[in-house]
Structure 1
Amino acid sequence: MTQDTAILLIDLQQEDGFPLPRFDNVIKNAAALIDCARSRNLPLFYTRHVNDALGRDLAFGEPVDAQGRPTTYRAGTPAIEIIDALAPQAGDVVIDKQRYSAFHGTHLAQTLKDQGIKRLVVAGVLTDVCVMSSLFDAYQHDFQLVLLADACTATTLSAHYSALFILSNWLYGLEIFSVEQLLRSWNNQPATSVLSAEPDHLAHEPEAFVQTIARFERELAAQR
C-alpha cells in the first residue's frame, strides 16, 4: 500500500428501496476500512447516485412516479445522503452522479490523476450495477484496482457473486480481498486475495455455481 492509493466508496446511501443481504456486514466492514484509511491519511472519495427531483436528464427507462419524478435516489430527499455510520468528513470528496458509473459525466478520473492516484480500493453497492460499472470504467482509465468483496453487496447473493466472478475474470490485475485480509496486508502481515492474472479463471457451468462460490470464499479466507 502506497501513498498513490485512494479509497472509492460507491453509493453507500440511505436509499432503502432495495433489500440488500448482508448489508449490516457491509456497513461494518466499510467502517473498518474507512477508519484504517483515515489513520493512514489515504484520500476518500464517495459517490452518491442523485436523480433530478423533477425527472430531468434521467437515464432511459429510469422508473418514475405518476408525476414523472424518479422513484429512487431523488434529489432533495434523505435517500441520497450517505449512511450516518460512514458519513464523509471534512477533506473527503463527494461525487454526485446520474448514471451507474462513478466516471460517467463526472470529473472523478481527472481529479484522481491530478492527485497522483494510481490505485483504487473500491467498496459499495450494488456489486452488479454501480460497483461493476465503475470498476470497468476505472480499468479503462488505467487505474490499478482492489475490490473488497465483503464491503459490497447486491439485491441477491447470486447477483453479488456473479458480478465478482465477471470482474475477476476480465479485469486483469484486479485483486479481490476481504476487508480483514486487506488490513492485514497494510500491516505487513500474511494476507490472501484472489488475483486476476489470466482470462476467465473462474469460468464454470451453471450447475457448478455454488461450488465456485465456496472455492472463491476459501481462497479469500485462506492464510498464506
Structure 2
Amino acid sequence: MSLPIVQGRTALLLMDMQNMIVSRYTSDTAQLAPFKQALETARLHGLPVIFVRVAFREGHVNVSARNKMFGRIIGTPGGGTEDIGTQIHAELAPRENEPIVTKIRVSAFAGSDLEAVLRSQGIDSLVLSGIATSGVVLSTLREAADKDYGLTVLADACLDQDADVHRVLTEKVFPVQADVMTVEEWAASLGEEKEK
C-alpha cells in the first residue's frame, strides 16, 4: 500500500524576529507593522506560520572562534534558548500551534530541524520575512532555492541596517530565485487565489 501524496502547501517564515535582534535594528515598533500584517495575513488564510530564531547552547560550546560573525559572542552572557534576548518579540507572539525553530548559524536551515518540520507538513513553498535582509533572508533564500522550494520574499517585511544593500537584494538579487512583493501585494494575491 502506498502512502497518500500530500498536496503542496505554503508557509510563512518569520525569521530572527527575536528581542535581541529586533532591538538592534529598530526601537520603533511601528517598523514591525509589515511583519504583523504578514503574520495576520497568513493566519487569516490558514497558512502555517513558522518562527525561526538563533540561539546557542549554554557557554556557546557550539560556536567556533573562527566564525567571524558569531565567534565574538563566546564568553559573553546570554544567547541561550531560555534567554530573554532569544525569545520572539512580543509584537509578533507565536500561537501555541506555531512552531519556533532554533538555528545556530545564519540560514534558517543551519543546525535546525526546519526541513523536517516543512517536510512533515507537506510544505514546498516558503514566504520569507525577517531581519536582516542581507543575513537570514539572503542565506535562507539561497539554501531554500537549492532545495527546490518555491519562494516569495516580502520586501517590506525585511529590514537591513543598510538601505542600499536591502534595495539591491530585493530588486536585483532575490528576483532571480524568488517572487519579490510587498505584504499588501501578497495579501491581495492570496485573496485572488481564494476567489478562484
Tell me if 1:117 matches 2:123. yes
CA deviations on 1:163-193 (whole Å, 9 max, x unpaired) are: 324532542xx1001011111111129xxxx
Aligned equivalents of 2:125 and 2:31: distance in 1? 21
**CA RMSD of superposed structures (Å):** 2.5
Contact 1:21–1:154, Cα closer than 8 Å, also in 2: no
Q: Which residue of 2 aligns with 1:139?
A: 145
**TM-score for the superposition, normalised by structure 1:** 0.73
Name the SS of the counterpart of 1:64 in structure 2: helix
- 1:155 CA drift (Å): 1.4
Give 1:10's aligned residue. 15
Residues 8 and 125, structure 2, Cα contact 8 Å, conserved in 1: no
The AA in structure 1 aligned to 2:192 is N
Give the match's secondary structure for 2:32.
Answer: helix
Q: Is the 8 A contact 1:148 1:176 kept in 2?
A: yes
TM-score relative to the length of structure 2: 0.82
Q: Deviations over 1:54-79 (max 9, x none)?
A: 121114232436xx424774544211
Matches of 1:22 and 1:182 in 2, distance apart? 26
Q: Give 5+ residue unaligned stretches, structure 2.
A: 1-6
Judged with a 3 Å threshold, the aligned counterparts in structure 2 of structure 1 residues 100 and 23 are, in CA distance, closer, same or farther, namely farther
1:19-168 equivalent positions in 2, closer than 5 A: 19-20=24-25, 24-59=29-64, 60-61=67-68, 62-64=70-72, 68-70=74-76, 73-165=79-171, 167-168=173-174
Deviation of 1:130 after TM superposition, in Å, equals 1.0
Output the CA distance in 2 between the equivalents of 1:108 and 1:175: 21
Paired with 2:92 and 2:52, the residues of 1 have a C-alpha distance of 12
Amino acid at match of 1:103: F
Partners of 2:21 and 2:51 lie apart in 1 by: 18
CA distance in 1, matches of 2:32, 2:22: 17
Matched, 1:185 2:189: yes
Identity of aligned residues (%): 24
What are the ranges of 5 or more consecutive residues in structure 1 without an aligned counterpart? 190-224
> Would the aligned equivalents of 2:108 and 2:140 in 1 still touch at CA under 8 Å?
yes
Q: Which runs of 4+ in 1 moved over 3 A?
A: 16-19, 21-26, 70-76
Q: Larger helix proportion, structure 1 or 2?
A: 2
CA distance in 2, matches of 1:149, 1:120: 14
